[in-house]
Amino acid sequence: MFFISVIKQYERAVIFRLGRYAGTRGPGLVILIPFIDRGVRVDMRERVLDEPAQSSITQDNALVDIDYVVYMRVVDAEAAVINVQDFTRAVRNLATTTLRSVIGDITVEEVLSQRDRINMVLQQKLAAETVRWGVEVKAVEIREITPQHDIQQAMTRLLTADRTKRALITESEGDRQAAINRAEGAKQASILEAEGAREAQILRAEGSRQAAILNAEGFAMGLDRIYQVAERVDANTMGLQYLEMMKQLGQGASTKWIIPMDLSAMAGPIGEALSGFGRNGNGPAAAEPAREQSAG
């Protein structure tokens, strides 16, 4: 006579024959010999251990309540049955002690701000310990962290002070940036003003230079014109101009005359000019008898 058992897809049957491990069966039909074989069903599906909130003390002696869940599944039915009496309770107790150990190594501020890191550390520690039970810990998730009331008030004051500090820093940073922008604007304005003054000075200097060049060119052209005219003036004409000048001086009311030093040099040309007029019979003829009378 045999005993027939149906093992479902997500189950495995650990068979003991006369108290000794005889193998793992399933899924499907499993035939057992009454009074000789004994089978233990093991659920291989992933399960969730929803633990109640656990009280833990942080490194800075703050008491916090932590609510968390553990995701696990059996990967070795033989080890889950033979190596531990109740793997579910064993994983639950190990998770509680590991959580308290991890929380005791960090401060309350780190507990509140480093939840992901705590989850990862818990999962790694549990996975390393539960592998001998044929259990794989997939993940550990902290759902809620509740500090004591006085810790909550202190954290609230700390958060308020931190927000105020950040607001003041942001405001001062804005004022500093505004001052920098104003100074930069004034600097650019000064640079532009200096560049404008420099350009204006350059333009004025360029205008003065061009005017000086034009004046010099005009003066040179005038001198050249005078030189050209002077080249066409002969000695007779120059002598007559001296006589005309002396005539104008004689008609003046001044009693002092300034006679050029080279007036004697002009005597020759003046005489030649007068001689020329005499040969033409226009005036020098009268001048010559006058010269003889003054000689007698």
Radius of gyration of the chain (CA): 64
Backbone angles phi, psi at 134, to 5 degrees: 75, 20
Confidence of residue 291 (pLDDT cuts 50, 70, 90): very low
DSSP category for residue 52:
P
Q: What is the mean pLDDT of residues 101-116?
A: 90
At residue 267, does pLDDT exceed 80? no
Digit-coded pLDDT (tens) for 42-68: 999 999 998 888 889 999 888 899 999
The domain defined by 47-147 folds into: Tetrahydropterin Synthase; Chain A (3.30.479)
Q: H-helix or E-strand containing 62?
A: none
pTM above 0.95, yes or no: no
The string over 270-279, giving b where at least 16 C-beta atoms fall within 10 Å of a residue's C-beta and e elsewhere, is beebbeebee
- pLDDT of 27 reads 92
Cα separation, 183 vs 188, whole angstroms: 9
Confidence of residue 95 (pLDDT cuts 50, 70, 90): very high
The residue assigned the tokens 């790694």 is 124
Q: Measuring CA to CA, which residue among 4, 99, 107 is closest to residue 55? A: 99
More confident call, 230 vs 296: 230
The residue assigned the tokens 């995701």 is 71
Confidence of residue 259 (pLDDT cuts 50, 70, 90): low
- pLDDT of 15 reads 94
Tokens of 236: 């007779």
At residue 250, does pLDDT exceed 70? no
At residue 175, does pLDDT exceed 60? yes
More confident call, 35 vs 281: 35
Mean pLDDT, rounded, of the chain:
82
Residue extents of the structural domains in the chain: 3-43, 47-147, 236-251+263-274
